Structure 1
Amino acid sequence: MIAIAYFSGSGAIARSTTLIADAAQQAGQEVAMIDVMEMTAEDWATLERADAILFGTPTYMGGPAAGFKAFMDATGDDIWLDRKWRDKIAAAFTAGVNTAGDKLAALQSLNVFAMQHGMIWVGQEVIGAPVFKENEGLNLSGTFLGLAVNANTKGLTEGCEASAALFGKRLAEATTRWMVRNT
């Protein structure tokens, strides 16, 4: 099971979460979407049971949004000390207005967070245009550490929506492969 822990400001992360979840479900994974601003004891239990946890936050001022950072900080005692997320698959996605927009810095923060928990990281693998012209609009920022989508007042571009779906499929396949090898 994949749990997607997310915070959405303008709606781009919520939209990305839905696209990722739909693709992961189509690839055979059960998915739980958890808004970190409304955490319950059941949500924490779901994260503990999950085979994979995907972290989603907008990039604000070069890092994860404060709402998501509070969630990260809340894992510092029982979860981190007891290694409850050790060897779970981890991945992350972020959104920002500009193509680069310091989204890589937010993904690096999420990567370090996952590594501190002893998790196994899965990044983005799609090579977009101009390298592969047929992938026009995919992985616009050329970011491979995770999914980085562009958000504007009209929502996500068609390419960013397709990139989110491909990322969900990749995460589902990696989780399935990891769980088969480790059972």
Structure 2
Amino acid sequence: MENLRNQRREKRFLIVNYILRYKAGQAIDISWQPQPEQAGHIANIAHRSRAISSTEGRQLLVSIVYDSGYGHTARVAEAVAEGVREVEGTEAKLVAVADGAMDWNALERSDAIIFGSPTYNGLISAKLKQFFEDSTKAAWSELKWRNKIAAGFTNSGAQHGDKLNSLVSMALFAAQHGMIWVGLDLMPGNSSSTGSTDDLNRLGSWLGVMTQSNVDQAPDITPAGSDLNTAGWPRPCAGFNPPDPSFSTKEFCHETALPRYSPAWR
């Protein structure tokens, strides 16, 4: 039981450490020293976390591994990458599984891996599933992705389309690799009489980003701007001007009720 409690303490410490790093885009100061009564295992956690989170002299690398059948999910992946690049000291690497041989070494060097797929028949695509299976020998057998940040996004033609099942599949895959899953920290949009489809997180997901593309429109038209802004959240909204000139773009995107103004961004 004591070992189990220690493992849980370690996991909580690492989760906080990684989330702070991911949000801030930089290494955090873990020069904190344990009190005498905390010495031992907690000190070892700090030591291991220091080794994991040491990013001085290099950028954090976030790999976005995705599949896209018709280009719509690729647009979402690009929006995610734009959001990542807005975080100082962070590099985004787009990895389309359909492009051929996988650079497993680059994924091992990544600080975070974000997975993306269209939802077909309530499931992730066959190509992303094949990537998952290929990772068994390349990464899972030695837990090479252990304690890396993981997240996910999915797109479908239907408003719901059973997309949750796709995100659950990604989260389970990440768990089997010992990764730390991060969900979507946005309240659901379009959930009141004053809401609209232009709200952020209009499909009301927490496990990951859900987007929807009209089946009769090309990727340059759909998914909607609100979905793409959700995929890139939080970030300064490059190319868009806040309706109130007293706000800077960054202040507007991060500090105001963003969904109320999103129609101006379409």
Q: Which structure's residues are more often strand, by fraction?
A: 1
CA apart distance, 1:145:
0.4
CA distance in 2, matches of 1:148, 1:93: 6
Q: Deviations over 1:40-64 (max 9, x none)?
A: 35x2111110000000100011110
CA distance in 2, matches of 1:84, 1:131: 44
CA contact (8 A) 2:86 2:235 kept: no
- TM-score norm. by structure 1 comes to 0.85
Describe the shift of the 1:67–1:167 C-alpha distance in structure 2 as closer, same or farther (beyond 3 A).
Answer: farther
Match of 1:140 in 2: 202
Residue aligned with 2:233, SS: helix
Name stretches of at least 5 consecutive residues in structure 2 with no aligned partner: 1-60, 237-266
Amino acid at match of 2:115: F
Match of 1:164 in 2: 231
Match of 1:102 in 2: 162
Q: 1:30 aligns with which of 73, 91, 97?
A: 91
CA distance in 2, matches of 1:61, 1:55: 18
Amino acid at match of 1:53: I
CA contact (8 A) 2:104 2:138 kept: no
Amino acid at match of 1:36: V
CA contact (8 A) 2:63 2:92 kept: yes
Residue aligned with 2:204, SS: coil
Amino acid at match of 1:40: A
CA apart distance, 1:134:
6.9
Describe the shift of the 1:99–1:168 C-alpha distance in structure 2 as closer, same or farther (beyond 3 A).
Answer: farther
Amino acid at match of 2:191: P
In angstroms, what is the RMSD of aligned CA positions?
1.9
Name stretches of at least 5 consecutive residues in structure 1 with no aligned partner: 170-183
Residue aligned with 2:213, SS: strand
CA contact (8 A) 2:155 2:210 kept: yes
Match of 1:7 in 2: 67
- TM-score norm. by structure 2 comes to 0.60
Q: 2:178 aligns with which of 84, 107, 118?
A: 118
Count of residues in Structure 1 that have an aligned counterpart in Structure 2 = 168
Match of 1:72 in 2: 132
Q: Aligned residues: percent identity?
A: 36
CA apart distance, 1:132:
9.7
Question: Whose relative contact order is higher, 1 or 2, with alpha carbons under 8 Å and at least 6 apart?
Answer: 1
Describe the shift of the 1:158–1:91 C-alpha distance in structure 2 as closer, same or farther (beyond 3 A).
Answer: same
Amino acid at match of 1:67: K
CA distance in 1, matches of 2:71, 2:124: 15
Q: 2:191 aligns with which of 116, 130, 137?
A: 130
CA contact (8 A) 2:152 2:167 kept: yes
CA apart distance, 1:39:
3.8
Describe the shift of the 1:131–1:119 C-alpha distance in structure 2 as closer, same or farther (beyond 3 A).
Answer: farther
Residue aligned with 2:229, SS: helix
CA distance in 2, matches of 1:39, 1:27: 29
Residue 55 (str. 1) matches residue 122 (str. 2): no
CA contact (8 A) 1:137 1:158 kept: no
Describe the shift of the 1:156–1:82 C-alpha distance in structure 2 as closer, same or farther (beyond 3 A).
Answer: same
Where has structure 1 moved over 4 Å in runs of 4 or more? 131-136
